[in-house]
Amino acid sequence: MHAVVPSGGPSRKNVHEWKAATPPRDRAWITNWLVHAETLKSSFRTTFLKGLQRLHRGGELKLQGEWSHLTARDAFESWLQPLEDMTWVVHIEAPPEHSVPSNVVKYLARYLTGGPISDGRLISHDNGQVKFWARRGTTTGGDRQDMIPVCLSGEEFVRRWSLHILPRGLVKTRRYGGWSNRHQQSYRKRCEALLNADATGSEELCAAVAVEADPSKTETPDDACCPHCGTPMPLQTSTDRPSWRLLLGSAARPIWYESG
């Protein structure tokens, strides 16, 4: 799960006052961070396990087959105990140096707009068999430099791809608080007013996004080579996806989307 947490907003006590988040500073060499990793992992563990206990008390867990013995409360509590005793893993890493907020948002946006597998990893589809590139190695997720072709039947490939389709009733992204669908329009106006956001800054940002999305501005290295055999790979053709900003501002936008 990825989350974007604003570092400030209108004060809850005084809507005409901007309230900035104050990061904890318990060490001299740490000057700007929001969450302590040790506190986060213990808090998340407690919240997660309490949620499981609540679902168990309400009979909302589907404990069938080999899990049927956990329907008894004592058995379930005994099963949870090792999870309460172990240390959970949390990794917090700062963005690259000289990053700006738009870089972070752009990075996370790829998770929302991308699919389970990119087109560039697909090699062929012949005789009902799909071949694609995959990573292998000893590290989690594989080593990026060690790519091998993998072949699956079309049926198995579609089955694995379909595992990424969210169940009915779940959505890929949610907005909470002032940024919820119901309140975000008025909340954003309040934020802009308190931050003295001017139209010039917004226009410059939109212009920068438009330049980046413009295929004619995309630079392609002339010396690109195959990472496996070293053969030069001249670019034959390319098709860029239109940006969401341009798509949602056009006549092709969904009927439920209200353009600004």
Q: Would you say 129 and 151 are in contact if contact means Cβ atoms under 8 Å apart? A: yes
User: What residue spans of 58-133 are helical by DSSP H?
Assistant: 73-85, 101-113
Residues 32-39 have a mean pLDDT of: 72
pLDDT digits 0-9 by tens, 70-100: 999 999 999 999 999 998 888 777 777 787 8
- Give me the pLDDT at residue 208, please: 42
Cβ atoms < 10 Å from Cβ of 68:
10
Task: State the DSSP H helix or E strand holding residue 187, giving kind and residue range, or none if neither.
Answer: helix 184-194
Beta carbons within 8 Å of 11's beta carbon, 6+ residues apart: 17, 18, 19
pLDDT digits 0-9 by tens, 152-202: 999 999 999 999 888 888 888 888 888 888 888 888 888 888 887 544 444
Tokens 């563990």 locate to 45
Distance CA 211, CA 204 (A): 11
- Give me the pLDDT at residue 205, please: 42
Give the mean pLDDT of the chain.
Answer: 78
Q: Is the pTM of this model over 0.85?
A: no
- Give me the pLDDT at residue 216, please: 46
> What is the DSSP code string of 226-259?
-TTT--B-------PPPPHHHHHTSTTS-TTPPP
Residue 1 CB-density burial (10 A; 0-12 exposed, 13-18 middle, 19+ buried):
exposed
Distance CA 210, CA 217 (A): 10
